[in-house]
């Protein structure tokens, strides 16, 4: 709703749009509590918002004509203002590109996307970034000032604007999904609502000919494959379940099929597309294919290509896990130790996993280091449970003399 209102008022008057959206939902909470939810809640909300816009311009007209003695510039604009599904979709698509202004940092872009496009509160964004609400408020204020000064027009997107910002848009949506899939919050490792919002916004890109590109389809395929395993990644205690231990009956087959569809459409036949999204979608595809005997060789080859396109410590560690599946834990330990990422808790988690079968003491040592490095309480609990399992195993194999 804020996005649609910004299309009407312009980005320079974003606060007006946010105020009207807030007042609309406040009225809904009051009315619906008494009379119940209407048959068409969306239509109800937008009708109320439209009426509030008319009231705003009416009051503005009175102020301008009676107090300042001049006609308001926007006095007639409400007559051209209508809500419909196409307008809502187009407005959100345009706002995605506005939010991804190169004038703002990546972190600020995600903050704006979470608040403006996904409706997250300052407190929720602060939790996602492991920082104080006051810090997020200041970051949002600076980002919105930059957005207002950008003179980006929400009415329509031209090809030049799309080409110059599409890479940034895809990266922002990728990071938004990852924040949900590997959340950095203290009490949650998976935030399904962030994943859902990232998928919803990426779907919007596929509905416009200018943004319906092979990399967009590859990113959407990746999100579908990863989302298909969300229900299997967490136990009732909130602990993450490792891939090998997941109940495959909980995997969402319909999302896997959608992932296959978008991955097939991620090439247009005229170019050899090989973006990081294509490679990561390919890796995720093979993860959802449990029957192929050579799947880990395929996964390792894709990681080898991915690490050449865009190196990151996480990619290197994930590649080492795949390397272990192909060549065994002993050789993988040597590969992992070459990385020397001693300040990274995932590094110690991986070594803990690789040592767990042959050297429980060494595995426990690495898991304890990982606990000291991670800020996630649920991850600490998961690692503590694994330490307890290894301790019991060690005691069973080497009981104390009695």
Predicted local distance difference test score (pLDDT) of residue 72: 44
**Per-residue model confidence (pLDDT) at position 67:** 53
Q: Which residues pair with 319 in a beta bridge?
A: none
Per-residue pLDDT of the chain (402 residues; tens, 9 = 90+): 888 888 777 787 888 888 999 999 999 999 999 989 999 998 899 889 888 888 887 877 665 555 554 444 444 444 456 677 777 878 888 888 888 887 788 888 888 888 888 777 888 788 767 678 999 999 999 988 888 887 676 666 778 878 888 988 998 899 888 878 876 554 555 678 888 989 999 999 998 888 999 999 999 999 999 999 988 888 877 677 878 788 889 999 999 999 999 999 998 665 566 899 999 999 999 999 877 789 999 999 999 999 999 898 999 999 999 999 999 999 999 999 999 999 999 999 999 999 999 999 999 999 999 999 987 787 888 899 999 999 987 776 666 554
Among 213, 184, 185, 219, smallest CA distance to 199 is for 219
How many Å apart are CA 266 and CA 330, to the nearest integer?
37
Reading the block at residue 230, the tokens are 């969300």
Q: CB of 323 within 8 A of CB of 335?
A: yes
pTM for this predicted structure:
0.78
Long-range contacts of 108-112 (CB under 8 A, 24+ apart): 108/139, 108/140, 108/142, 108/143, 108/146, 109/143, 109/168, 109/172, 110/172, 110/175, 110/176, 110/179, 111/136, 111/139, 111/140, 111/143, 112/140, 112/143, 112/144, 112/147
Specify the residue for token string 């403006």.
Answer: 116
Domains and CATH numbers, the chain: 1-83 (no CATH), 89-212 (no CATH), 217-228+252-289 (no CATH), 305-402 (1.25.40.10)
Residue given tokens 């597309």 in the structure block: 273
Q: How far is CA 47 from the centre of its chain?
A: 31
Please give the pLDDT value at position 26. Answer: 94
- CA dist 110 and 78 (Å) reads 31
CB–CB of 179/191 below 8 Å? yes
Enter the tokens of residue 342.
């001693």
Q: What b/e string do you get for 321-355 counting C-beta neighbours within 10 Å, with b at 16 or more? A: bbbbeeeebeebbebbeebebeebbbbbbbbbbbb
Beta bridge partners of 234: 240
- Residue 5: closest CA among 24, 28, 27: 24
Per-residue tokens: 19: 């105020």
């Amino acid at each position: 709703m804020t996005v649609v209102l910004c299309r009407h008022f312009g980005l320079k008057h974003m606060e007006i749009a946010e105020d009207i959206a807030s007042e609309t939902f406040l009225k809904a909470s009051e009315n619906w509590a008494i009379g119940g939810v209407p048959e068409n809640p969306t239509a109800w909300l937008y009708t109320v918002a439209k009426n509030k816009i008319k009231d705003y311009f009416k009051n503005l007209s009175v102020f301008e004509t009676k107090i300042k003695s001049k006609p308001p510039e926007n006095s007639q604009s409400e007559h051209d203002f209508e809500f419909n599904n196409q307008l809502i979709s187009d407005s959100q698509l345009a706002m995605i590109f506005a939010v991804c202004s190169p004038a703002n940092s990546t972190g600020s872009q995600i903050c704006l996307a979470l608040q403006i496009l996904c409706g997250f509160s300052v407190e929720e964004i602060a939790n996602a970034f492991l920082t104080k609400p006051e810090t997020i408020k200041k970051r949002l204020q600076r980002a919105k000032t930059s957005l207002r000064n950008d003179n980006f027009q929400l009415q329509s997107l031209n090809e030049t604007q799309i080409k110059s910002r599409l890479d940034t848009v895809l990266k922002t949506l990728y990071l938004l999904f990852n924040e949900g899939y590997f959340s950095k919050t203290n009490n949650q490792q998976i935030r399904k609502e962030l994943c859902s919002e990232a998928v919803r916004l990426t779907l919007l890109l596929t509905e416009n000919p200018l943004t319906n590109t092979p990399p967009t389809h590859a990113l959407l395929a990746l999100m579908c494959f990863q989302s298909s395993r969300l229900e299997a990644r967490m136990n009732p205690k909130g602990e993450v379940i490792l891939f090998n231990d997941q109940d495959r009956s909980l995997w969402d087959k319909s999302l896997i099929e959608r992932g296959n569809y978008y991955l097939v459409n991620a090439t247009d036949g005229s170019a050899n597309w090989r973006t990081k999204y294509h490679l990561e979608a390919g890796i995720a595809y093979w993860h959802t294919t449990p029957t192929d005997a050579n799947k880990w060789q395929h996964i390792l080859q894709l990681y080898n290509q991915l690490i050449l396109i865009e190196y990151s410590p996480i990619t290197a560690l994930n590649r080492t896990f795949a390397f272990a599946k192909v060549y065994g834990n002993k050789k993988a330990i040597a590969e992992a130790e070459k990385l020397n990422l001693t300040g990274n808790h995932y590094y110690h988690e991986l070594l803990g996993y690789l040592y767990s079968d042959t050297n429980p003491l060494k595995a426990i040592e690495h898991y304890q280091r990982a606990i000291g490095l991670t800020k996630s309480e649920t991850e600490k609990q998961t690692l503590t449970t694994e330490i307890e399992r290894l301790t019991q195993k060690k005691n069973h194999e080497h009981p104390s003399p009695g």
